[in-house]
Amino acid sequence: KSAVSSVTHGSKSTSTSALVSLVKEQVSLVRNLTSANKNASEELQKVQEEKKRIEAEYRKMQEQMAIEQGSAAGVSAAGSAGVAAAAATAQPATAVPLGT
């Protein structure tokens, strides 16, 4: 009976030790996953902030281009109107006979 009892006791000790080891591994794994998740969340936040900054820059550039195109169109329209007005007031060219 004592031999059976020591085998059972030894087996219990081995399985307890194995369980403790397994739990320690799981705790370590959870810590690593938690840390990785935190790092990924921080990286995602940085990327989202960068995206917002780039989008704001893009909108600013689009607005600036629209302003520049609007002023260029205004200059072009004014220039065309000026050319048309000058053409309307210009004196017709007179024919000059070439040497006879």
pLDDT at residue 98 tops 70:
no
Residue 67 CA to residue 73 CA, distance in Å, equals 10
Give pLDDT, residue 7. 44
Residue 98 gets which letter from DSSP? -
Give pLDDT, residue 71. 83
Give pLDDT, residue 90. 56
Query: pLDDT: is 88 or 14 the higher one?
Result: 14
Domain residue limits, the chain: 17-74
Angle at 18 between CA 16 and CA 19, to 5 degrees: 65
Query: pLDDT: is 8 or 69 the higher one?
Result: 69
Residue 84 CA to residue 72 CA, distance in Å, equals 18
Residue 61 CA to residue 68 CA, distance in Å, equals 10
pTM confidence score:
0.49
pLDDT per position as a tens digit, 41-92: 999 999 999 999 999 999 999 999 999 998 877 656 555 665 566 555 555 5
Give pLDDT, residue 70. 85
Residue 94 CA to residue 97 CA, distance in Å, equals 10
DSSP characters over 32-47? HHHHHHHHHHHHHHHH
